Amino acid sequence: MEKQYSIQEVSRMLGIPKDTLRYYDRIGVVSPSRGHNSYRKYSRDDIVDLMNIQIMQYADFSLEEIKGKFQFHRMQSIDPAYCEEVAEFLETKKAETRKKIAHLEKVSELLDVAAKTLRDFNHENDQQLAVFVREIYRDLHKKEPEITKEDCDGHQN
């Protein structure tokens, strides 16, 4: 017979609060079996599922996405159409992640320019910061801002 784990053991092993494990059970993400005393009993498969959930959450998947898309081991046979749907979903998620990375790189660069400007405040550094901010604004709005260069330069007055 396969070893079963209590909610306390699973919580300690994986660092997941017991309330979170109960919530996962309640919404059907991971539903362990119940012992004769109605206590949750987690199998090795349940523990693997919980580990995968932690990894997917680290990768910025929501619980709804996890619940809706990743049920492989529950299927008796793998449906190629389902696999294709999940593969497309993963590719979309990867594209979203790449956009976030590009955004964070731009934010990091902005913070570098701002810090440099503050450490060595002069007209040239201030102008570089203003140019960079306008570039970011254009990227955000995909158009020229209504504010003119003269308006931006006027912030020093």
Contacts of 125 (CB under 8 A, 6+ apart): 116, 117
3-state secondary structure of 34: strand
pLDDT confidence bin for 97, thresholds 50/70/90: very high
Rounded Cα distance, 56 and 115, in Å: 34
Contact call for residues 106 and 128 (beta carbons, < 8 A) = no
Model pTM greater than 0.95? no
3-state secondary structure of 41: strand
| Residue appearing with tokens 């912030």 | 155
Segment 6-17, tens digit of pLDDT: 999 999 999 999
Rounded Cα distance, 79 and 63, in Å: 22
Segment 44-84, tens digit of pLDDT: 989 999 999 999 999 888 988 888 877 655 656 677 887 88
